[in-house]
Amino acid sequence: MSSQALPRLRCLQCGAESIYVDPFQHCERCDSDWLDIIYDYQHFRGSSWIATQDASMWRYRELLPLSAGAAHNSLQEGWTPLARLDRLGASLGHARLYAKDEGRNPTGSFKARQASLVTSILRERGIGELVICSTGNVAMAYAAYCARVDVELTVFLPELVPPLKQKVVEAYGARAVRLPASYYDTRVAAKAHARERGILYDPGADNFVNRESKKTIAYEIAEQLGWRAPDWYVQA
């Protein structure tokens, strides 16, 4: 991938800029993982192009960190319904209350957005193995999306994860490692496993790629409200 294929990154901690190289990159100067992508908003075409896009989160592809010529790995995640809740809103004193139904995503949660973007980047860069730690929803999403692009996935699960979720992960062909430990300790074990074997480890919500995928929820809400931002947003 050429350095022109993707935007540059700016560290929100120290301000340093760098070229996007590592899928789960940290700042080269201060090692912070709070990075922001510098998109070329001056030449952005606005909302006119959205009508030609499919009904998924990839309608906002120009504002996602994937090269223009790269194929995205999609199961039609995103563009979930925004339902107006008139009766509940009235009971709470809110005239315009809406619910964004992320349960309509292919794997049952908004984590499908994250899995779609991450596995698209892995395929683009020829990365065939990945290690993650999860309490369930991320594991199921990544297992489904990794299976589509032949990425070998190892999932570390803490003891609190329901057995059914582990079965779903394994049904997609991923390797599940269940530990009698807390999420924190399981995450430490997952990172160590990846480091010892030279396999890429996905740090989850701590990385800008995953945050980039979830911002599409905000874009969808704004578009579904006629390009208006809500006064309040509550994440369940």
N-term to C-term CA, the chain:
38
Alpha-carbon distance 117 to 94, whole Å? Answer: 35
DSSP-assigned letters across all residues of 141-182: HHHHHHHHTT-EEEEEEETTS-HHHHHHHHHTT-EEEEESS-
- Tell me, what amino acid is at 25? Q
The reply to whether 83 falls in a domain is yes
Same domain? 214 vs 182: yes
* Per-chain mean pLDDT for the chain: 92
User: What are the structure tokens assigned to 154, written together?
Assistant: 């190892």
The model's pTM: 0.93
71 & 20 share domain? no
Q: Is 202 within 8 Å of 130 (Cβ atoms)?
A: yes
pLDDT tens for each residue of 63-110? 899 988 899 999 999 999 999 999 999 999 999 999 999 999 999 999
Please report whether residue 49 resides in a domain.
Answer: no
pLDDT tens, position by position, 179-219: 999 999 999 999 999 999 999 999 988 789 999 999 999 99
Spatial separation of the C-alpha atoms in residues 91 and 184, rounded to whole Å: 40
Same domain, 214 and 117: yes
Pair 58, 80 in one domain: yes
Residue span of the structural domain in which 160 resides = 54-236
